Amino acid sequence: MSPPRLTGALRSFSTVSKKEDFTEQLYDLKSKRLKRRELFAKEGLTWQKIVHFCTEHQDKVKQQAELKSLLHSAKQIVGTDQGQEAIESAAVFLFETFHNKDHVGTEETRAIKQMFGPFPSSAAEASCSSVARLVAPLGDSHVEDFIQTQSSRHNTHRGSSFGRNIAFSYECYTLDPLEDLPYSGLNEEDMNLDF
Amino acid sequence: MACARVPLDEQQVTEPGPLGKEHTLPALHPARKEERCFVPYKSPPEDGSPAEVEEFLEHAKFITEDLEWLLALPHDKFWCQVVFDESLQKCLDSYLHQAPRGLDLASLPSSPAVADMQRSIHRAVFLTFLRMATHKESKENFITPAVFGEIIYENFLFDIPKILDLCVLFGKGNGQLLHKMIENIFTQQPSYYSDLDETVPTVLQVFDTILNKCGLQCEGATAMEPMKLNAHKQPTAMTMSQQELVDLILYLCDSTTTIHAFLDIFPAACTSFHSHGFLGRLTLFYETAVPDLEKAVRKRNFDDKSLQDDLWKRLSHSCRKMVEMTHLLLNHACLQPILEGGENTMSFAEELLQHFTSFLPEKRFLSDYDEQFPIADDISLLQQALPVIDETRTSYLLQGVESAWDSVGRRKPQSQIHPK
């Protein structure tokens, strides 16, 4: 809980701000994750494109087995009650996440949890291995180029973001007392000298 | 994409509608808002378990990602989001409410990952407010100033409590940028001056509340009421619960730091504070409340000595801020116009002398003020600018300052003692 603040009092007792219930939450983490999945699905890279890319000049049988395995892991992560579209989209996310990773690290775990909520770690391990086997015969730069060109997320011009050149200071106000607590004087007025 | 060299508020765009058919609509239109679902901010866990830390990091990552996305949007899309996305405004508001201030008891994040994430949000929130306070981003991307003023005011993108929060959260190292932002907001929408005028009495009420909680008489409405027969039973700073005392000092510390930050960053606000007799109320509050609160912190029995030490520092910090606020107000209202040498220099000098004279009965305040901002220096400045100033009056004033030091049993710092 935040400590008592002047601006809290001003919001409650003055008429210059919008009266809002700050305990009311428009979106919880669950609906936020759903929205993220929805937005991710619109980013351009699709399961069909991945299938085509992985099987085009490769051993189709072997690659298809790995793709199937990746879909299976995706189903465990996204939830078995989800439709084919949601499972394929999750598989795309896992492909993007693990295409240049050899193990499931903290960042990857966090990214998957942010997208799908709690998930079985065995499914993440299995998907990481599947992706590694899928991309092994393709070459790192080839895979990287494929993702860069297909996904709109990688095409946004980060450099054009507002405020990128602004020198921002993280400094904050700290206590600046006039004097320290005078310990020598503590309780001295309480002394009763009985002459 | 919207057309160039026309203000955003006058632009029309043609783009595919929900059914895929092209349609033309104003560039600033709710239909152009993206469904993004911004989540509200929650402050970092104080002594968080790994699960709490994880939850914070996950939550915070959503916010940084969303704000970075927002900042990367083109000008027209940014404003559609800002004006029409309620979840974005709630997210920004929650940050202003919940973000830890540098002065909070537990302001240091528990882990480096939390600290890094907090820094990322901090910057992204500031840049978002900065963009929201900018009506002209480039030659092509701008909003008609009057319309900009209306948009920010009618949609509560900025209000006085938010501006105060921005000052206390970001003002320490970003004062110049904040000054430009706030100046632009007030210039394009003068209604903020009326809002500020309405807010000052509530600010004064905060000081009255503190006095009341300490069982001390105060000026204003409450002082006019007859005293209840059981009034003597009201708790004082010595008798209230320890938690109440802690809350009271935290409140005072936050209030004085916030007001000071605001006046320091946006001195034009001094006029509103001044017109409500803020100086008189502040000095009276200082004289009445500070000795009582100091006594309570020194004499009460604290099991936790570090809490006692911390409370003392907060109280002493609050004193410094009140003294500095007084100086800011005097500087803006009287000293600055005198030094600028305009037409009414004499009346400003008269007002300054009147203020100093009104401080004479507030001996504790006067000695603390004089220690930080020697009154003799201001008098000397005054005499140089206006040689006609009545010397008997200034001598009386300076004697009053000396007597204030004597009556509070303190000695002036050596550096301030000038040979006669």
> What are A12-67's pLDDT values in tens digits?
988 899 877 666 666 788 889 989 998 888 888 899 999 999 988 777 788 889 99
In tens, the pLDDT along B112-171 reads: 899 999 999 999 999 999 999 999 999 999 999 999 999 999 999 999 999 999 999 999
In tens, the pLDDT along B374-394 reads: 999 999 988 888 888 889 999
Contacts A39 to B, Cβ<8 Å: 36
Is A184 touching B (CB cutoff 8 A)?
A: no
Contacts B98 to A, Cβ<8 Å: 2
Q: Which residues contact B151 (CB under 8 A, 6 or more apart)?
A: B79, B83, B143, B157
DSSP lists the bridge partners of residue B15 as B23
Residue with tokens 């299976």: A72
In 3D space, the residue among A144, A138, A109, A107 whose CA is nearest the CA of residue A125 turns out to be A109
CA dist., res. B177 & res. B165, Å (int): 15
pLDDT, position B389: 87
Interface of A with B in 61-100 (CB under 8 A): none
The pLDDT confidence band at residue B361, using thresholds 50, 70 and 90, is: very high
CA dist., res. A189 & res. B189, Å (int): 56
Tokens of A7: 């601006």
C-alpha distances in Å from residue B321, one per residue of A77, B8, B316, B326, B378? 55, 42, 9, 9, 19
In tens, the pLDDT along B36-77 reads: 999 999 999 887 788 888 889 989 999 999 999 999 999 999
Contact A180 B297 (CB under 8 A): no
The pLDDT confidence band at residue A179, using thresholds 50, 70 and 90, is: confident
For chain A, give every domain's residue range: 82-150
In 3D space, the residue among A120, A71, A76, A128 whose CA is nearest the CA of residue A97 turns out to be A128
Torsion angles phi and psi, residue B298, rounded to 5: -75, -40
Average pLDDT of B289-306?
A: 94
Residue A46 has, within 13 A of its CA and on its CB side, a CA count of 7
What's the gap in Å between the CA of A56 and the closest CA on chain B? 33
CA B407 to chain centre: 33
Give the CA radius of gyration of chain A. Answer: 28
What is the average pLDDT value for chain A, to the nearest integer?
85
B88 and B82 in contact (C-beta within 8 Å)?
Answer: yes
Q: Is the pLDDT of residue B276 over 80?
A: yes
What is the average pLDDT value for chain B, to the nearest integer?
91
Helix, strand or coil, per DSSP, at residue B328: helix
Contacts B101 to A, Cβ<8 Å: 172-173
CA dist., res. B162 & res. B168, Å (int): 10
In 3D space, the residue among A61, A87, A60, A63 whose CA is nearest the CA of residue A76 turns out to be A87
B91 and A26 in contact (C-beta within 8 Å)?
Answer: no
Start-to-end Cα distance in chain A: 52
Interface of B with A in 239-268 (CB under 8 A): 247, 250-251, 253-255, 257-259, 261
Q: What is the DSSP letter of B414?
A: G
Tokens of A191: 């002394």
- Across B27-123, the runs of DSSP E, i.e. the strands, are none
Q: By CA distance, what is B69's nearest residue in A?
A: A161
Q: pLDDT > 90: what percent of chain B?
A: 78
CB atoms within 10 A of CB A30: 9
CA dist., res. B414 & res. B420, Å (int): 14
Is B101 touching A (CB cutoff 8 A)?
A: yes
Tokens of B190: 């003068």
Torsion of CA B120, B126, B132, B138, to 10 degrees: -80
CA dist., res. A191 & res. B7, Å (int): 75
B216 and B281 in contact (C-beta within 8 Å)?
Answer: no
The pLDDT confidence band at residue B275, using thresholds 50, 70 and 90, is: very high
Interface of B with A in 128-187 (CB under 8 A): 130-131, 137, 156, 159-162, 164-165, 168-169, 171-174, 177
Q: What is the DSSP letter of B269?
A: G
The ipTM of this complex is 0.90
